[in-house]
Amino acid sequence: MERNPCIVPLPTTAVVEYHVLTMDRSLFLPVCQSDLDARGWESIDIALISADAYVDHPSFANALIGRVLEDAGFRVGLIAQPDWKSDRDFLKMGRPRLCAMISGGNIDSMVLHYTANGKIRSEDEYSPGGKSGYRPDRPTIVYTSQARHAYGKDCPIIVGGIEASLRRLAHYDFWSDLVRKSILIDAKADMISYGMGENTVVEIATRLAKGESVREMRDIRGTVFAVRKEEAEAACRFPFVRLPSFEEVSERDKQSNIPTERGKRLYAEAFQTKMLHENAMKPECLLQDHLDRTVIQNPPQLPLSQEQFDHLYELPFTFVAHPDYDKLGGIPALTEVQFSLTSNRGCYGACSFCAISSHQGRVVQTRSKESLVREAQRLVRLSGFKGYIHDVGGPTANFQGHACKKQEQYGPCPARECLWPRPCPNLQDWHGRYLDILEAIEKIPGVKKVFIRSGLRFDQLMAVCDGKTREKFLSHIVANNISGQLKIAPEHIIPEVLDAMGKPRVELYEQFCDAYARENRRQGKRQYLIPYFIAAHPGSTLKDAITLALYMHDHHFVPDQVQEYYPTPGTVSTTMYYTGLDPRPGMDFRPIYVPKGKERSMQRALLQYDKPQNRKLVLDALKETGMMHIARILLEPSHRYRQGKENR
């Protein structure tokens, strides 16, 4: 097989020592003036500014985007977690020749800083030593302001990453309980690169290098820009659809200052329109007025080809954190992914609470088996590798290709989901391909075990996969790919709640549990399922939460960790939370129950009913619903179970 010229060859006669990779700064993107001097560079083309520490691994966006730009021939300087209170860090490699590109990091900064009930988190796994305090709230806005001051008004500033991508239009902000403007307007940036922006940033940089002004770039897919309202329609380079304006979707009563019913309905309508018109195969612009400006969202980037996807992950990553962090305790977020392989991106799963489809798209893109094998071989040669590949997957491990053949030409169906409310008859099954990839990696000398830690969609396995392939797949993963427990996500058991979540009926979950248990018994193994459940999701009443608690009790299971629903930008569920309406196509904006205030805490407590600190909240929930007779079952020691895994 022909060697990819972008791969830095590693020694084959000896294991590469960890300190070699960490101490040789020339293997990393430059982060300071001395790094530029060592390369003989007088300046950089692009200042890549990130709220995350610099980990040179493809799972970290700053490294991936930096390597992509480097591969395209640009001189990139990476400014990780700068001091946002002065210009000093922003100017440590001088003013960039072409532009500044700014990202809020891999995880939304507000989610990193605050829990779902508003408590401040004390840790940040994407920062040195796992300590907090290395980034501000809303770093995209803060960094853009400081970069503008440091580099001047004529330096183009492009913002991207998850924080900007999910705030590209007017959006509900849970932390302020307000509808905020597009982050493009709030940050006063020149452009947003939304979604997985590898091709977008290269096109922007290439056109800047040719002398084109960022204000002339009106036709780049995967971008958002703003113009004066009267110029909006003329600025569109694609057919356009208008959304209700920021003023309309944020409308509040002038006396009470609470959102109006009209404003909430228009917000839900805007979100639905956005869902219906984000198909890369049918390119359209979305226009949304913001006071005297109009924000224009261009169509999404086309999905990556397999060759493009392979190339990204075969760029010369070192797979370790930058050596500057060694004395600070390293970067904890690396531990989980350092020896993991990304095989796919995108998701057609339709979970209401998830923003992956908005950021990565509904069309699944995959890498070739050969590319994954090559990356695994590189990992084997790294010091610190002990024979275990921790994961092979992506947003959903067993989505390993297009949902259906129609997607290849037409993209995803605008008004229909692939798996909800029931699997589409056109769905393709990819478990055979995934199994082929796992087996190929397992055969690599030096690999002892390959685990699956990405989520498995049990509904795809049980309802789409044929019986023979399902049996073979389950047999293989039970024998080879589970380290004692397998994580899956039924999320709830009540049909109405599952409908609101876009999740399958509990019967499919139970069928999977039974099949998994049978296979473990057949192989003489005791491996468990770790199911995830969400408390206080829109659609869930207090009685629903009590029913779920009883279900857990009957199955001898109480989770060690519980996820309380967290309204984050860009999701169907957040629109439900704010408006009390279901914005999904075909649901006719039907009203939906939304637990708020103390009830959120009660629903969460019910999922861990046996914890002493939850007793009062559980009793309050039972009193409020007139179900005090349940207290004997849930709270008396003789009736309680305390286990962190499902037994069957």
Question: Is residue 333 included in any domain, yes or no?
Answer: no
Residue with tokens 């531990």: 335
Could you tell me what percent of the chain has a pLDDT over 70? Answer: 95
Q: Give domain status of residue 329, yes or no.
A: no
CA distance 113 to 132: 8
Looking at 418, 452, 475, the residue that finishes a domain is: 475
Rounded to whole angstroms, the Cα distance separating 515 from 534 reads 24
Nearest to 21 by CA among 325, 373, 389: 325
- What is the C-alpha to C-alpha distance for residues 643 and 630, in angstroms, rounded to an integer? 20
Report which DSSP code applies to 591: B
What is the pLDDT at residue 640? 52
Domain end: 201, 222, 243, which one? 222
In angstroms, the first-to-last Cα distance of the chain is 47
DSSP 3-state percent helix, strand, coil across the chain (nearest 5): 40, 15, 45
Does residue 47 contact residue 96 with C-beta atoms inside 8 Å?
yes
- b/e code 386-398 from CB counts within 10 Å (16+ = b): eeebbbbbbbbbb
Residue 149 lies in a domain: yes
SS3 of residue 202 by DSSP? helix
| Length of the chain (residues) | 648
Distance CA 533, CA 541 (A): 15
Q: Which residues pair with 213 in a beta bridge?
A: none
CATH code: domain of residue 576:
3.30.750.200
82-117: per-residue pLDDT in tens? 999 999 999 999 999 999 999 999 999 999 999 999
- Residue 213 and residue 278 in one domain: no
Average pLDDT over residues 314-329: 96
Q: What is the pTM of this model?
A: 0.93
DSSP assignment string, 177-196: TEEEPPHHHHHT-SEEE-SS
The DSSP element (H or E) to which 480 belongs, if any, is helix 467-480
Encode pLDDT of 246-262 as tens digits. Answer: 999 999 999 999 999 99
Question: 443 and 525 in one domain?
Answer: no
Domain shared by 514 and 428, yes or no = no
For residues 490 and 379, state if they share a domain.
Answer: no
Across the range 550-563, mean pLDDT stands at 91
Question: How far apart (Å, rounded) are the C-alpha atoms in residues 215 and 365?
Answer: 31
* Structural contact between residues 159 and 49, judged by C-beta atoms closer than 8 angstroms: no
List the one residue out of 60, 52, 48, 57 whose CA is nearest residue 21.
Answer: 57
Handedness of CA 240, 241, 247, 249 (dihedral sign): negative
What is the mean predicted confidence (pLDDT) over 325-339?
96
**Does one domain contain both 499 and 610?**
yes
The total of structural domains in the chain comes to 4
Query: Which CATH number fits the domain that encloses residue 132?
Result: 3.40.50.280
Cα torsion 190, 308, 571, 278: sign: positive
206 and 250 in a single domain? The answer is no
- Phi/psi region, residue 222 (left: phi>0; alpha: psi -120 to 50; beta: rest), is left
pLDDT at 238 over 60: yes
Rounded CA separation 373/123 (Å): 35
What are the residues facing 342 on neighbouring strands? 393
Alpha helices in 523-643 (DSSP H): 542-554, 572-579, 598-606, 615-624, 631-635
Beta strands 285-290 and 240-242 are parallel
Domain that holds residue 241: 227-294
Residues 213 and 185 occupy one common structural domain: yes
Say yes or no: 47 and 157 in one domain.
yes
**194, part of any domain:** yes
Residues 370 and 458 in one domain: yes
Q: What are 354-390's pLDDT values in tens digits? A: 999 999 999 999 999 999 999 999 999 998 999 999 9
Residues 577 and 517 in one domain: yes
Residue 328 lies in a domain: no
Cβ within 8 Å of residue 230, ≥6 positions away: none
CB 501 within 8 A of CB 492: yes
Whether residues 287 and 394 fall in one domain: no
Residue 416 lies in a domain: yes
* Closest C-alpha among 477, 461, 494 to residue 595: 494
Q: How confident is the model at residue 637 (pLDDT cuts 50, 70, 90)?
A: confident
Inside any domain, residue 59: yes
Q: Given pLDDT bands bounded at 50, 70 and 90, which one contains residue 638?
A: low
Residue 101 maps to a domain: yes
C-alpha of 613 from chain center: 32
Residues 471 and 582 in one domain: no
Q: How far apart are CA 470 and CA 22, in angstroms?
A: 43
Last residue of a domain, one of 419, 454, 475: 475
- Identify the pLDDT of residue 63: 98
Report yes or no: 279 and 413 within 8 Å, Cβ to Cβ: no
d(CA 54, CA 65): 12
Q: How far apart are CA 208 and CA 72, in angstroms?
A: 13
- The Cα 58–Cα 68 span in angstroms is 10
What CATH number has the domain bearing residue 450? 3.30.750.210
